[in-house]
Amino acid sequence: MVEWTAAERRHVEAVWSKIDIDVCGPLALQRCLIVYPWTQRYFGSFGDLSTDAAIVGNPKVAAHGVVALTGLRTALDHMDEIKSTYAALSVLHSEKLHVDPDNFRLLCECLTIVVAGKMGKKMSPEMQAAWQKYLCAVVSALGRQYH
């Protein structure tokens, strides 16, 4: 189980309080699809992803960004049981969606950069550490049921 100090819990909550999921979700997924274009392989049914402008204007990408970020937020209410919280989602991503779990890490990198852009220096180094620890725990849980 991941151990959290009180300060880390506060930091993670503080970051989430600055995140508008409807804004950051789409931005993070768009950035991921642009910066790591091979991630587009999972979105064949989303329509036009042929240019950066198409990605940014694509409503399915935006909607899915919201879904993904909402899923990432779930752990905030279950910080002491992250593994079990994401067990079913992990099975889904492995057995139905067939997503290479390295992609979770790439999306989280892009999310951190989007959030850093919104928060500026209000995201202190200690806050960034706690935030990345949180994302790492979720990424680990999501990859856990792959076999």
Partner 1 sequence: MNDDCNDGDDDADDDDDDDDDDDDDNCSLEGNYLNVNMSLSSKQKATVKDFFSKMSTRSDDIGAEALSRLVAVYPQTKSYFSHWKDASPGSAPVRKHGITIMGGVYDAVGKIDDLKGGLLSLSELHAFMLRVDPVNFKLLAHCMLVCMSMIFPEEFTPQVHVAVDKFLAQLALALAEKYR
How far apart CA 108 and CA 126 sit, in angstroms, is: 17
Q: Select 96 or 106, whichever has its Cβ closest to partner 1.
A: 106
Contact with partner 1 (CB under 8 A) among 7, 35, 67, 88: 35
Q: Select 12 or 82, whichever has its Cβ closest to partner 1.
A: 82
CB distance 110 to 54 below 8 Å: no
Is 105 near partner 1 (CB under 8 A)? yes
How far apart CA 32 and CA 103 sit, in angstroms, is: 9
Is 120 near partner 1 (CB under 8 A)? yes
How far apart CA 117 and CA 88 sit, in angstroms, is: 32
Only one of the segments 16-24, 40-48, 59-67, 114-122 lies at the binding site for partner 1 (rule: CB under 8 A); that segment is 114-122
How far apart CA 27 and CA 76 sit, in angstroms, is: 21
Does an H or E element contain 54, and which? Answer: helix 52-57
Which residues here bind partner 1, judged by CB under 8 A? 1-3, 30-31, 34-35, 52, 82-83, 101-102, 105-106, 108-109, 112-114, 116-121, 123, 125-126, 128-129, 132-133, 135-137, 139-140, 143-144, 146-147
